[in-house]
Amino acid sequence: MIHSFTDLQSIQGKLAAGATSCAELTEYYLDRIHEGAHLNAFISLFAERARAQAVEIDGKQKKGTAGRLAGMIMAIKDNMVLDYGATTCGSHILEHFQSPYTATVLKKLAAEDAIFIGKTNMDEFAMGSSTENSAFGLVRNPLDNDRVPGGSSGGSAVAVAADFCTAALGSDTGGSIRQPASFCGVIGLKPTYGRVSRYGLVAFASSLDQIGPLTRSVDDAALLMNVLAGRDPGDSTSAAVDVPDFCADLDKPLKGLRIGIPQEYYGEGLDETVRQALQKTSEFLRDMQAIPVPVSLPHTEYSIATYYILANAEASANLARYDGAHYGARADAARSLEEMYVQTRSQAFGAEVKRRIMLGTYVLSSGYYEAYYAKAQQVRTRLRDDFDGAWQHCDLLLTPTCPTTAFRIGEKASDPLTMYLSDVYTVSVNLTGLPALSIPCGQDPQGLPIGAQLIGQPFAEGTLLRVAKQLQLHHAPTRQVLRLEER
């Protein structure tokens, strides 16, 4: 019998004992996805292909030649290309697009015998904080179906939280792994910029985007980082930095580790329940003989404005390629080339994507570049300097992931600025290229999860995972089947 909410270690133990098989695991997850179809977590499924892969890997298990990820059934955010199936980015403009190649990260996972069960729903082109902006319908939080799962990797977070898969991949441009991880009560890791190849990730903002895992256990996140990390000749921004064994020091004591508490992340706008959960988390780390240290990141208040200038500028440039001429959707009734461009983009892009393209084009336009884009780059440098100063006093930072727990569907949809402020604690990490991780650290009075964010020094994912392991052991979430009937 397959037990839900298991991590890969326990699954592989059952595989070794003959208590289950990859074929049985695959059927279990496909059944779960069917039961939870109302959550709308997936855009496409690879049912028959996954079944065939499972049979093949079961054969490898018997021969003792299976890879490190045998038994891991994975969901993939639908902005990472595969050379089979569609890659839509949650947009009508790519609704029928099939990539001729496969992303580096997916090749690495497949080489270690991970099975891809399907592509997950997302905010269109990863532009959103709630997964309400998908062309294929909004995604519902499995813990409360009237609330959002966060975004833009909402489908991946739901897939993990609802036990539709063992783990999932997401992308994080301003919090898109960490925020849905917080809202859905799972673990989400945004690696250092350059730690994981972006080759095959459809670009939103190229200087900010990063691929990372969403899991139910820290051990699974560490193992996935062992597979995903490393230099890729196909991605000129990937770093030629040694990849440690991220699993090696997970149980190392925290004694003497300096935990920075940045005062700017605990001010106005932070829900009191979230504040109390972070206070308890800090106290627990002190009990583990870590040393909380007050620090300051004085330019934090400018991070949201800076992010939405730079991210939208890069989005405007990256999305210029979707014009109906090269690939993707094309307006058929156009009478001229210019009309074809206008009609294609007007019909196939959603409202949020159009808003960001227009804002990005504006800040890059003649007469405004210096006032907005160039100034934002200067502030980005100041933010990086803030973090460099903090590292003189601490080894990592502890902050809330989000100001609140998951909000209701539609609550912020008509107010973009309020929606953007959902990312107030996450965007600085992308602007500075640092690694960060969200892990559950409590619940609000409605039983909704609260996420603690750990921010690390460049390429210090191992330290984040080490602290997260102790937090996971402390909170010891109940491993049970999440009921999937609509509520």
Mean model confidence pLDDT for the chain? 95
Q: Would strands 396-400 and 258-262 be described as parallel, antiparallel, or unpaired? A: parallel
Residue 440 lies in a domain: yes
Residue 27 lies in a domain: yes
Which has more confidence, 124 or 366?
A: 124
Q: Is the pTM of this model over 0.85?
A: yes
Residue 330 lies in a domain: no
Question: Domain total for the chain?
Answer: 1
Residue 154 lies in a domain: yes
Q: What is the pLDDT of residues 392-421, one digit of tens each?
A: 999 999 999 999 999 999 999 888 888 998
Residue 485 lies in a domain: no
pLDDT above 60 for 480: no
Helix (H), strand (E) at residue 181? helix 178-184
Query: Tokens 């829900």, residue?
Result: 271
Residue 140 lies in a domain: yes
Distance (Å, rounded) from C-alpha 111 to C-alpha 129? 32
DSSP one-letter code for 356: H
pLDDT above 50 for 2: no
Q: What is the pLDDT of residue 479?
A: 45
Dihedral (Cα; 261, 225, 235, 50), 10-degree rounding: -130
pLDDT band at 333 (very low <50, low <70, confident <90, very high): confident
**Number of Cβ atoms within 10 Å of the Cβ of 111:** 12
Q: What is the pLDDT of residues 21-73, one digit of tens each?
A: 999 999 999 999 999 999 999 999 999 999 999 999 999 999 999 999 999 99
- 291 — phi, psi (to 5°)? -120, 105
- Residues marked active site are found at 77, 152, 176
Beta-carbon contacts of residue 76 (< 8 Å; ≥ 6 apart): 82, 106, 116, 118, 119, 120, 156, 168, 169
Beta-carbon contacts of residue 447 (< 8 Å; ≥ 6 apart): 143
Distance (Å, rounded) from C-alpha 386 to C-alpha 46? 45
Residue 352 lies in a domain: no
Distance (Å, rounded) from C-alpha 115 to C-alpha 11? 14
Domain ranges, residue 207: 8-257+402-475
Q: What is the CATH number of the domain that holds 410?
A: 3.90.1300.10
pLDDT above 50 for 381: yes
Beta-carbon contacts of residue 218 (< 8 Å; ≥ 6 apart): 187, 250, 439, 465, 468, 469, 472
Residue 178 lies in a domain: yes
Token pair recorded at residue 252? 């190392």
